[in-house]
Amino acid sequence: MTTAYDVAAVREDFPILDTTVRGKPLVFLDTAASAQKPRAVIEAISEFYETHYANIHRGVYQLSADATQRYEGSRDTVQQFIGATDRREVVFVRNATEAINLVAHTWAEKNLQAGDEVLITALEHHANIVPWQMLGQRKGIRLRVAPVNERGEVVLEEFEKLLNDRTRLVAVAQVSNALGTILPLESMIELAHKRGARVLVDGAQAIPHMPVDVGQMDCDFYVFSGHKLLGPSGIGVLYGKLSLLEAMPPFLGGGDMIESVSFEKSTYAPPPARFEAGTPDIAGAVGLDAAIQYLQGVGIERVALWEHELLEYATAKLSEIDGLRIIGTAAEKSAVLSFVLEGVHAHDVGTALDQAGVAVRVGHHCAQPVMEIFGVPATVRASFALYNTRNEVDQLAAALRETLEIFR
C-alpha cells in the first residue's frame, strides 16, 4: 500500500541529512540508537538559550517565570502526547535508563521483599535487566525471564506460567530494540494485573514510531528517552500513575524536591517535583516539547504507516540476498531489521557499509541475552524512521552485496 506521505518534505526538515560521509550522501539507518533532529527542535533550543534562558521555579523575575512556563509547558505536551490523565504523572529524568533505575530505587525498594519476583522478557535491553538484578542483590528479589520463540516473539502461555503470587512487577519493552518485535502488551498487562503485579513498560523504542496511550494501556509506569523521539539527549520521561508516585519515596535528594529542610528533618514535595532534584535539563524539556509537536505535525499514524512500508520493502529486498539471515521475524514488528551475513563478522559489515556512507549499528545492541538465544555474538541492525526512503534501502542492499563480494 502506498500512502501520500511526503518523505522528501520531511527530509528537508532534518539538516543533517544533507551531510556527506566519505564523499557519499549520508544514509542514516541507526535511529533506534538515537534519532536525528528536525530544524524545529534545533531552533527551539537555540531560541530558548538566546532569549528565554534562566533557572526555573525559583526566580521572581520575568525571565525565570518564562523559562518555568516553557519547562512546565513541555510537561503538558508530554501528558497530552502519552494520554496521561494528570500532568503530575509526568516526571522529567535524563533518559529511559534513569527512569527505570528511579522505579527500582523507590517504588520497588519500598514495596518488594526478599523472595518477591520481577518478571521481564528475554528481549529486554540491558537498561531493563541490570537495575532489577541490582535490586535483587540488595533485597533478595528473584528475576524471572519469559522466553521468546524462534521468531523472537514472547510466548504468552510461557509468560503466563511464570506469573505467580510472588510476582510484584512485570517490566517489559513495548518494542525490542535488537529485533523490532512488538510485544503483546495488552494481554501481558491484563494477565499481570490479574495476578496483582504492577507493570512497567519500557517505551524507548515504541514512542517514536506508534501512537501511545498510557491510560488505555493501563500500565503503571511508562518510560522513554527524548533523544530517540527526535528530541535532544539528556531528557527523558517517567510516567507513573499518580497514586503510585504519591506513595513513593524520593530518589535523589537536593534542591527543588523538598517542601522544607532543617538539619533535623526534611519533608518532600509532592510529585513530580519530588523526583526532580536539582536543576533539570531545562532546554532539553523545551527541545522535547518541540520534537513532540513536530511529530504530531507530521502525524504519528502516518509515520507508523510509512515506516511499516519501509520495513516490508527492506525485508523483501534483504531476503533476496544470498547469505543474509534476518534475526527476528515476528509477525508484529517495528521498523528494525537485524541480520547477519554468512562468513562476515558484523563489525566488518558495519565498517564496509560506512565506506558507502551507510550508518548502521553493529554489535549486541545492549541486549546480550537475546543475541545468545539466537546463537550470534552480534548482528547488523538497520533501523528506519520517518525520514528514510526506499532509495536508501536500495543503497543498503547494494552495499551489502558489495560487502559479500569482497569477503567471499
If one asks whether residue 202 binds ligand PLP (CB under 6 A), the answer comes out as: yes
**What DSSP letter does each residue of 89-158 carry, written as one string?**
GEEEESSHHHHHHHHIIIIIHHH--TT-EEEEETT--GGGTHHHHHHHHHH-PEEEEE-B-TTS-B-HHH
How far apart CA 28 and CA 358 sit, in angstroms, is 6
If one asks whether residue 120 binds ligand PLP (CB under 6 A), the answer comes out as: no
Mark 341-377 as b/e (b = at least 16 C-beta within 10 Å).
beebebebbbebbbebbbbbbbbbbbbebbbebbebe
If one asks whether residue 225 binds ligand PLP (CB under 6 A), the answer comes out as: yes
Paired residues of 359 in beta bridges:
28
DSSP 8-state class, residue 408: -
- Cell output for 245: 508516585
3-state secondary structure of 275: helix
How far apart CA 99 and CA 236 sit, in angstroms, is 8
Residue nearest to ligand PLP (CB): 177
Which of 181, 205, 338, 389 binds ligand PLP (CB under 6 A)? It is 205
Q: CB of residue 107 vs ligand PLP: minimum separation in angstroms? A: 18
* Residue closer to ligand PLP (CB basis): 327 or 352: 327
Binding track, positions 358-377, relative to ligand PLP; x by CB under 6 A: --------x-----------
Segment 284 to 343, residues that bind ligand PLP, using CB under 6 A: none
DSSP 8-state class, residue 182: B
Q: Which stretch binds ligand PLP (CB under 6 A): 199-207, 237-245, 255-263, 276-284?
A: 199-207
* Residue closer to ligand PLP (CB basis): 84 or 367: 367
Comparing CA positions, the residue from 386, 335, 326, 380 lying closest to residue 358 is: 380
If one asks whether residue 168 binds ligand PLP (CB under 6 A), the answer comes out as: no
If one asks whether residue 173 binds ligand PLP (CB under 6 A), the answer comes out as: yes
Q: Which stretch binds ligand PLP (CB under 6 A): 84-92, 121-129, 250-258, 395-403?
A: 121-129
Do you know the residue count of the chain?
408
Residue in the block written with cell 539466537 = 374
Which of 45, 56, 67, 127 binds ligand PLP (CB under 6 A)? It is 127
Of 366, 368, 402, 407, the active-site residue reads 366
Which of 125, 241, 361, 381 binds ligand PLP (CB under 6 A)? It is 125
How far apart CA 236 and CA 292 sit, in angstroms, is 12
DSSP strands (E only) in 29-103: 90-93
* Residue closer to ligand PLP (CB basis): 127 or 238: 127
Q: Which stretch binds ligand PLP (CB under 6 A): 124-132, 150-158, 185-193, 353-361?
A: 124-132
366 is catalytic: yes
How far apart CA 210 and CA 212 sit, in angstroms, is 6
* Residue closer to ligand PLP (CB basis): 111 or 233: 233
**Cα(first)–Cα(last) distance of the chain, in Å?**
37
If one asks whether residue 379 binds ligand PLP (CB under 6 A), the answer comes out as: no
How far apart CA 281 and CA 277 sit, in angstroms, is 11
- Residue 202 CA neighbour count, 13 Å, CB half: 29
- Cell output for 16: 543533517
How far apart CA 293 and CA 225 sit, in angstroms, is 16
- The count of residues interacting with ligand PLP (CB under 6 A) is 13
* Residue closer to ligand PLP (CB basis): 74 or 205: 205
Q: CB of residue 225 vs ligand PLP: minimum separation in angstroms? A: 3
If one asks whether residue 385 binds ligand PLP (CB under 6 A), the answer comes out as: no
If one asks whether residue 220 binds ligand PLP (CB under 6 A), the answer comes out as: no
If one asks whether residue 129 binds ligand PLP (CB under 6 A), the answer comes out as: no
Q: CB of residue 178 vs ligand PLP: minimum separation in angstroms? A: 8
Q: CB of residue 127 vs ligand PLP: minimum separation in angstroms? A: 4
Segment 71 to 110, residues that bind ligand PLP, using CB under 6 A: 95-97
What Rg do the C-alpha atoms of the chain give, in angstroms? 22
If one asks whether residue 403 binds ligand PLP (CB under 6 A), the answer comes out as: no
If one asks whether residue 177 binds ligand PLP (CB under 6 A), the answer comes out as: yes
User: Are residues 186 and 217 in contact, defined by beta-carbon separation less than 8 angstroms?
Assistant: yes
Paired residues of 339 in beta bridges:
326, 380
Which of 154, 182, 204, 344 binds ligand PLP (CB under 6 A)? It is 204
Q: CB of residue 238 vs ligand PLP: minimum separation in angstroms? A: 11
Q: Which residues carry out catalysis?
A: 366
Positions touching ligand PLP (CB under 6 A) are: 95-97, 125, 127-128, 173, 177, 202, 204-205, 225, 366
